[in-house]
């Protein structure tokens, strides 16, 4: 054999492999079980507390439906809801909004000019200059088809980028695409898919939808009056609208009966009267004046019996309590925005004009609701050493590194103590 020639010797079965440069096989991720089982202890230890975005109307994380017949103020109420959430002001001037949240209104039916005119009227009714913009409010007039996976993926990506907590889709029928509206399975699958994606992104979804033709004027709307199969099963909470009386053209007055409810047991039925007025030759001069009466509190006769008066008084007390709870939470948030981890009872009295009796009553209610908790922290008063005090903060999820503290009368025994 010539000098320098290379001889290739075939590898025999007995030779060992050199694995130093062999490519590692990818490790398969453990497969997530399709079904989850919990022990009773795990179930009880879970954090399932609900949060109202609009007290007794809209809970966070549950799909909501706004339903009603054609031209029954669905869009008007949905715009009021969007503006209330974005500005932190009461929905329809009555239902407290616990905090301002970023909200997106997606409308494909009314048109930009009409929606802007409605927005300006409602803003003015809320006490804001119509031209004042809010960074918490976003608008979209391109309607996605819920059955189009590619379009929904793009829409969801763009929506999530704006970091909203609520999206309002108006109306449903323009978004279903080629889905068979009579099939509960087809409609339900599309709605569930959309709801799951949006709620998984932390976005509470509100969908406006039409009633079927079986709903007569004067009759309170129920879930079975919603058109399209599967929608009533999809929503976990609802605002259902109907007219108490036929609309008289040229008056701008709408007399509605509105039912509000949710699967967690909250809600009620209300007479809602909305005065819009009539547009002039320049498409101006309309207003947004809303009056609400709880039907459970309304007197039966002209004078009303003693029971009616007691019911009305109880209703007024409930509304006052809801307003106080909303203010308490807003004051807790305001103190956090200043850099304090909690707000003490004394601070609530001196800076936010609360009385100690009200502080205890409202704090006890909010702690029972799981919305706030007691928190001990240190603060610096003037040039002195840091002092320790106890105050209120928004409740953190159970299981975090914190003591389980509940309200107690002892917390309020020394109103002249720390001013932190």
Please give the residue that has the higher pLDDT: either 367 or 404: 367
Please give the residue that has the higher pLDDT: either 174 or 44: 44
Confidence of residue 403 (pLDDT cuts 50, 70, 90): very low
Q: Single out the residue of 45, 19, 74 nearest to residue 238, CA to CA.
A: 74
Please give the residue that has the higher pLDDT: either 81 or 364: 81
245 contact partners, CB below 8 Å, separation of at least 6: 217, 218, 255
Rounded Cα–Cα distance for residues 160 and 201 (Å):
7
Task: Tell me which range, 27-36, 228-237, 345-354, 406-415, is most confidently predicted by mean pLDDT.
Answer: 345-354
The per-residue pLDDT for 49 is 84
pLDDT in tens, 28-38: 667 778 899 99
The per-residue pLDDT for 129 is 94
Phi/psi zone of residue 174: left (φ > 0), alpha (ψ -120 to 50 degrees), beta?
alpha
pLDDT in tens, 102-153: 999 999 877 899 999 999 999 999 999 999 999 999 999 988 777 777 888 8
Radius of gyration of the chain (CA): 29
Q: Which fold has domain 52-236?
A: Rossmann fold (3.40.50)
Find how far residue 286's CA is from the centre of its chain: 29
Q: Give the N- to C-terminal CA distance of the chain in Å, as an integer.
A: 97
Find how far residue 245's CA is from the centre of its chain: 30
Find how far residue 10's CA is from the centre of its chain: 72
Residue 414, pLDDT > 50, answer: no
Mean pLDDT, residues 156-185: 75
Mean pLDDT, residues 386-411: 65
Confidence of residue 99 (pLDDT cuts 50, 70, 90): very high
Please give the residue that has the higher pLDDT: either 197 or 63: 63
Per 3-state DSSP, what percentage of the chain is helix, strand, and coil (rounded to 5)? 30, 20, 50
Mean pLDDT, residues 285-292: 94
Q: Which fold has domain 316-412?
A: Arc Repressor Mutant, subunit A (1.10.10)
**Structure token pair of residue 217:** 């004027």
Mean pLDDT, residues 287-301: 82
CA-based diameter of the chain, in Å? Answer: 125
The per-residue pLDDT for 319 is 79
Q: Single out the residue of 202, 124, 203 nearest to residue 168, CA to CA.
A: 203
Domain boundaries, the chain: 52-236, 316-412
pLDDT in tens, 40-91: 999 999 888 889 999 999 999 999 999 999 899 999 999 999 999 999 999 9
pTM greater than 0.75:
no
Confidence of residue 410 (pLDDT cuts 50, 70, 90): very low
pLDDT in tens, 9-18: 555 544 555 5
Q: What is the DSSP letter of 347?
A: H
């Amino acid at each position: 054999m010539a000098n320098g020639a290379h001889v290739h010797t075939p590898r025999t079965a007995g030779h060992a492999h050199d694995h130093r440069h062999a490519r590692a096989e990818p490790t398969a991720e453990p497969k997530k079980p399709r079904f989850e089982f919990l022990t009773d202890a795990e179930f009880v230890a879970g954090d399932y507390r609900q949060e109202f975005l609009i007290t007794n109307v809209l809970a966070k994380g549950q799909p909501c439906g706004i339903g009603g017949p054609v031209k029954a103020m669905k869009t008007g109420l949905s715009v009021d809801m969007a503006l209330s959430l974005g500005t932190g002001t009461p929905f329809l001037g009555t239902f407290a909004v616990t905090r301002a949240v970023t909200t997106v209104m997606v409308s494909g039916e009314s048109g930009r000019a009409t929606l802007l005119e409605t927005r300006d009227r409602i803003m003015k009714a809320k006490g804001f200059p119509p031209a004042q913009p809010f960074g918490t409010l976003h608008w979209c007039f391109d309607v996605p088809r819920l059955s189009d996976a590619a379009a929904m993926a793009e829409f969801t990506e763009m929506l999530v980028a704006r970091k909203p907590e609520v999206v309002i889709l108006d109306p449903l029928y323009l978004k279903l695409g080629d889905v068979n509206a009579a099939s509960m399975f087809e409609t339900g699958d599309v709605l569930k898919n959309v709801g799951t994606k949006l709620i998984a992104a932390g976005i509470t979804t509100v969908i406006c939808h039409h009633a079927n033709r079986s709903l007569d004027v004067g009759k309170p709307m129920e879930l079975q009056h919603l058109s399209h199969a599967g929608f009533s099963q999809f929503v976990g909470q609802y605002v259902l609208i109907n007219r108490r009386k036929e609309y008289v053209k040229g008056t701008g007055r709408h007399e509605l009966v509105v039912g509000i409810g949710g699967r967690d047991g909250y809600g009620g039925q209300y007479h809602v009267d909305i005065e819009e007025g009539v547009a002039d030759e320049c498409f101006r001069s309309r207003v947004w004046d809303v009056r609400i009466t709880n039907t459970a509190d309304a007197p039966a006769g002209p004078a009303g019996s003693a029971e009616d008066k007691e019911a009305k008084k109880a209703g007024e007390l409930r509304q006052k309590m809801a307003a106080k709870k909303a203010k308490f939470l807003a004051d807790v948030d305001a103190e956090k925005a200043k850099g304090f981890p909690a707000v003490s009872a004394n601070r609530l009295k001196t800076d936010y004009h609360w009385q100690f009796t009200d502080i205890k009553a409202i704090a006890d209610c909010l702690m029972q609701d799981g919305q706030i908790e007691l928190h001990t922290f240190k603060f610096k008063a003037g040039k002195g050493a840091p002092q320790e005090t106890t105050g209120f903060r928004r409740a953190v999820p159970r299981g975090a590194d914190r003591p389980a503290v509940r309200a107690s009368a002892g917390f309020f025994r020394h109103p002249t103590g720390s001013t932190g």
